[in-house]
A and B are shown apart, each in its own frame.
Chain A
């Protein structure tokens, strides 16, 4: 068993209350931070090597150090709790089970950045989690960890939770800020980046729930100690949301570096594929990352064991690799129809496109339509090249990365499972029969 830094006490009775959380070492990181200079807190996070846990994997400490600090202008820390990347459900779990961990991270982070008001933007569907957080925040105020002059340090902070309204795009940080200002969630052009002009045009840092929570063990252990956990530049522990055709789907906190094969098959983790079936493919980091066939998710193209790290999962680039992304690990068994699954994801991105950039608004629509006809036995061979071409023309031509998120899964599905798309064209009748997934030879790139 690896170390658990975030979820160590998750099963303790009453851990969602201030009292029990405190008894288990809670708020020590805040006490420690308040005795340090804010820049020293930033330095510890830099030393830890923590990379953004929302999906992009950008070093958190570096993001913090980019924050502009003009005299007399308020600045903000905003927590991105708009978890909606298909396959990802770790933040919801963390917030509902350990609300004080996020609050503690928010206090330490806000202190490091000099924010006096901070927000947790939570997706609207999770109103019940919002109520859990608000209850915990009230406890933190009552115990002198929020509000004026926290623990006699002279530092003051207000923390609020803000619900979204059902829009995947608001997980993009500038769309999230627009939404927090009471507008449609249209991503902003960058530059200016939020670090310079974010919420209310003031300097702002936006971090994922798990990134902010990780600040707590980083401060408790020290950045250097934290960096010793994991492999290479993939430091620390990470929550993985395992779902799809697994015997034991759920949330697992891993020290980065566990072999993918062990994660899937070991009884300590996912316990193998359900119903005694074979694994067919995995989407390893949330629906946006390239799908890989069994052969390439278990081993790299060079034949090395693939590990649950940022570097190992992206080994081989997009030709034979994928990305760690948000840690949303979707396993598919041998009966899964890749064409249907790709169509499903394309429908998702079409539905969630905010509509402001033509390549994404129109392109996601065409991807959905053409994939729909391929899946339902009305497609042609030309359609297969058409979706690859549409995906290419979305990629890189949009304001925000939803364009890439929509394009990558399609390109990867055709790259690794082209024969399956072709089978849908050559066997239109079988393709539409219930449960008629193609089980032919996998074509490896």
Chain B
């Protein structure tokens, strides 16, 4: 009997079109420049992380050696190299957020989601990840979930509201800013 092997990942037609568009941004002999944007597309396409197989696919699409992709995916912190929950909550832990309660926020999120920082919740809904400065220091403490910023999470009510919203999401919108509008801080300022 043939051993069963997982199907080789393939980009959707929409992703392929986007990659084709991106490649027009760089000189023809500089396809490698598209590596970071293509890794972002890959992560969005394949469940929020980039497996070795997905990274090999990226290498193939850009005519790169697999190692050229691995050395980049391991350098940049946004790329998840292990399976993640449905929602990856990235908590800013740097000074300005710490001054306004990011330690307490982290503890609260661990308690409410059942996930530990660096791991997934038992129900598979959440991954908690501590990250460095998200450039939203005036609205601390801050977390990022995919492309959405959740700001001023300094009350239990604000944290509850965020988790309720995430739990209620039927699917993860690719372009949250189009569907949900800008983060509150940017609307009000």
**Chain A interfacial positions (CB closer than 8 Å to B):** 10, 83-89, 91-93, 96-97, 119, 123-128, 131-132, 158, 160, 162-168, 179-185, 200, 241-245, 249-251, 283, 287, 328, 330, 332, 336, 340-341, 344-345, 348, 351-352, 354
Contacts and interface: CB of A to CB of B under 8 A. Distances in A.
B98 interface: yes
A310 B177 CA distance: 36
Contacts of B37: 162-163
A164 B76 contact: yes
A96 B182 contact: yes
A17 B77 CA distance: 33
A97 B186 contact: yes
B33 A180 contact: yes
Interface stretch (B2-10, B116-124, B126-134, B162-170): B126-134
A100 B83 CA distance: 38
Interface residues of B, number: 49
A166 B133 contact: no
Contacts of B95: 86-87, 283, 287, 330, 341, 344-345, 348
Contacts of B138: 89, 241-243, 249-251
Given A165-B79, A348-B94, A241 B137 contact: yes
Nearest to B149: A128
Given A83-B135, A127-B147, A245-B99, A93 B78 contact: no
B13 interface: no
Contacts of B144: 125
A367 to B, nearest CB: 15
Contact of B36 (A88, A96, A179): A179
B34 A182 contact: yes
10 contacts: A86-B132, A89-B136, A124-B78, A128-B149, A128-B176, A158-B25, A164-B76, A183-B71, A184-B75, A242-B138
A293 B99 CA distance: 16
Contacts of A250: 138, 189
B66 interface: no
A85 B95 CA distance: 11
B189 A125 contact: no
B51 interface: no
A167 B77 contact: yes
Interface of B: 25, 27, 30, 32-37, 39-40, 62, 64, 68, 71-72, 75-79, 93-96, 98-100, 131-140, 144, 147-149, 175-178, 182, 186, 189
Contacts of A351: 132
A182 B78 contact: no
A244 B99 contact: yes
B147 to A, nearest CB: 4
A200 B133 CA distance: 29
Nearest to B137: A243
Nearest to B176: A128
A340 B103 CA distance: 12
Contacts of A123: 135
Contact of B78 (A89, A125, A181, A245): A125
